[in-house]
């Protein structure tokens, strides 16, 4: 990450874990922060990221790809925020207590608990993430949330129709509400998969900027670097089934797919910035996409909800 100039990264610390298991993951990270304080530090605010950059370190932002850590207790929303969580998905592929995942056949939208949890997440500053959620649930979350939501790692479905990629209807609603889209570099989300070219990806970024605004897109790499295939099996299966669910791959493509040759690990990010400039983005626009937009989003959304909600919303959409 240091070689690639990565000043901040959203780290998934829960896929199917309950509250107690998530706390165990947090204690593991606390030990890493102690042992590797020259390289990483935990971030709770945008200013923490600025401090990490000034001191030559990478800021680690905790996120959940599941609402499982809050179990069925809305009071745990504030608790996990105090422990450092700053993003939480309302569903991970399957139906949850809050919303519907993108692999379900039917999508009834946000549940009663889902609406209450979104309101509580807004209050404390835990960002609503709908990366793995189905369309109606995502649109419901955008409409119900008093603060901009995020889709942290997905691409336009019009470019590549993966189940997790998002329709133009969703992307327009996200843009109109001041939300953020993190564009994914995971091969199952890319046109031509592992053979996707840098030009194809950057051309897609340019079209997405036209649809949403260059100020509301960033990189959400979905990179799983140096992880064994057992990790991807946990992501897809957890404990909810005794069968192997291959997710967006197939039985012949179980495990992690090969990354495109132009994005193999964190050290490849400077080359991605070059690709954006070659696709017609200015240096300022490329900088926004490579991190500045996310930083400004963090500044606005990691703290408690402003009492002046009208002014807050206007500022978020400016």
Q: Phi/psi of residue 89, each to 5°?
A: -75, 145
Mean of the per-residue pLDDT values of the chain:
93
Q: Return the ∠ at Cα 16 (arms to 294 and 32), rounded to 5°.
A: 60
Q: Which fold has domain 8-317?
A: TIM Barrel (3.20.20)
Please say whether the beta carbons of 62 and 11 come within 8 A. yes
Residue 134 has pLDDT above 90, yes or no: yes
pLDDT band at residue 146 under the 50/70/90 scheme: very high
DSSP class of residue 76 equals H
Residue 257 has pLDDT above 80, yes or no: yes
Rounded mean pLDDT, 210-227: 95
Residue 250 has pLDDT above 60, yes or no: no
Rounded mean pLDDT, 59-84: 98
Rounded mean pLDDT, 227-255: 76
pLDDT at 248: 58
Rounded mean pLDDT, 300-316: 63
Residue 137 has pLDDT above 70, yes or no: yes
Residue 310 has pLDDT above 80, yes or no: no
The domain spans of the chain are: 8-317
Q: Return the ∠ at Cα 232 (arms to 259 and 31), rounded to 5°.
A: 100
Question: Which has more pLDDT, 307 or 279?
Answer: 279
Please say whether the beta carbons of 180 and 148 come within 8 A. yes
Distant-in-sequence, close-in-space partners of 76: CB < 8 Å, separation ≥ 6: 19, 69, 70
Segment among 70-79, 147-156, 225-234, 301-310 with least mean pLDDT: 301-310
pLDDT at 178: 98
């Amino acid at each position: 990450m240091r070689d690639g100039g990565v000043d901040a990264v959203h780290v998934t610390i829960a896929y199917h874990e309950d509250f107690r298991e998530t706390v165990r993951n947090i204690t593991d990270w606390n030990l890493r922060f102690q042992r590797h304080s020259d390289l990483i530090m935990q971030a709770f605010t945008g200013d923490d990221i600025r401090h990490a950059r000034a001191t030559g370190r990478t800021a680690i932002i905790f996120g959940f790809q599941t609402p499982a850590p809050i179990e069925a207790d809305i009071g745990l929303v504030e608790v996990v925020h105090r422990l450092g969580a700053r993003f939480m998905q309302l569903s991970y592929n399957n139906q949850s207590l809050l919303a519907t995942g993108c692999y379900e056949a039917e999508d009834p939208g946000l549940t009663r608990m889902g609406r209450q949890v979104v309101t509580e997440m807004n209050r404390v500053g835990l960002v609503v993430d709908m990366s793995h959620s189905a369309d109606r649930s995502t649109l419901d979350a955008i409409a119900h949330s008093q603060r901009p939501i995020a889709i942290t790692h997905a691409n336009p479905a019009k470019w590549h129709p993966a189940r997790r990629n998002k329709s133009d209807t969703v992307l327009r609603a996200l843009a109109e509400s001041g939300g953020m889209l993190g564009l994914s570099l995971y091969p199952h989300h890319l046109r031509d998969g592992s053979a996707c070219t840098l030009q194809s990806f950057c051309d897609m970024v340019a079209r997405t900027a036209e649809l949403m605004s260059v100020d509301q897109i960033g990189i959400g790499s979905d990179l799983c670097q140096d992880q064994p295939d057992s990790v991807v099996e946990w992501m897809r299966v957890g404990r909810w089934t005794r069968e192997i669910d291959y997710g967006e791959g197939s039985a012949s493509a179980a495990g992690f797919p090969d990354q495109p040759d132009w994005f193999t690990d964190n050290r490849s990010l400077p080359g991605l910035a070059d690709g954006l400039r070659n696709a017609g983005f200015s240096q300022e626009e490329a900088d926004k996409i490579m991190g500045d937009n996310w930083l400004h989003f963090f500044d606005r959304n990691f703290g408690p909800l402003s009492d002046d909600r009208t002014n807050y919303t206007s500022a978020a959409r400016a």
